[in-house]
Amino acid sequence: GAGVSQSPRYKVAKRGQDVALRCDPISGHVSLFWYQQALGQGPEFLTYFQNEAQLDKSGLPSDRFFAERPEGSVSTLKIQRTQQEDSAVYLCASSPRQGPTGELFFGEGSRLTVL
């Protein structure tokens, strides 16, 4: 399929563990976004990449959260020393345009549960 692929789909971590969530955007898409979606809530913006440049990381909740997109394609969201409040679905989206003004193509998300 040519859609946005995220892995793992489900991750259970013990509090204090580090996790890494991967996003494979649609090939050629310039923009990549990470969102955090708590149960019953709307997606909350975390960070935005244009190619390999991280242009906005204002939504990252703490310095335990780190995202990268070193070659301008695949992106990884890393959470260090996970806490229970980190439990959520992490959505990745990509767009062929610069910025979000256009259709965002979302992946199905990675559901993180921190015990």
Partner 1 sequence: QQPVQSPQAVILREGEDAVINCSSSKALYSVHWYRQKHGEAPVFLMILLKGGEQKGHEKISASFNEKKQQSSLYLTASQLSYSGTYFCGTEESSNTGKLIFGQGTTLQVKP
Q: Which of 81, 8, 3, 69 lies closest to 33 in space, CA to CA?
A: 69
Q: In terms of CB distance, is 52 or 108 closer to partner 1?
A: 108
**Cβ closest to partner 1, residue 56 vs residue 64:** 56
State the minimum distance, in angstroms, from the CB of residue 40 to partner 1. Answer: 8
Q: Which of 62, 45, 61, 36 is nearest to 99 (CA)?
A: 45
Beta carbon of residue 16, minimum distance to partner 1 (angstroms, whole number): 28
Give, as one character, the DSSP assignment of residue 39.
T
Taking CA atoms, 45 is separated from 28, 81, 114, in Å, by: 22, 21, 20
Instruction: Please say which residue, 18 or 108, places its beta carbon nearer to partner 1.
Output: 108
Report the residue number, 30 or 74, with the smaller CB distance to partner 1: 30
Query: Nearest approach, Cβ of 62 to partner 1 (angstroms)?
Result: 18
Q: Which run of H or of E encompasses 80?
A: none
Q: Does residue 68 bind partner 1 (CB under 8 A)?
A: no
Rule CB under 8 A: choose which of 88, 91, 112, 114 binds partner 1.
91
- Contact between 28 and partner 1 by CB under 8 A: the answer reads no
- CA R_g for the chain: 13
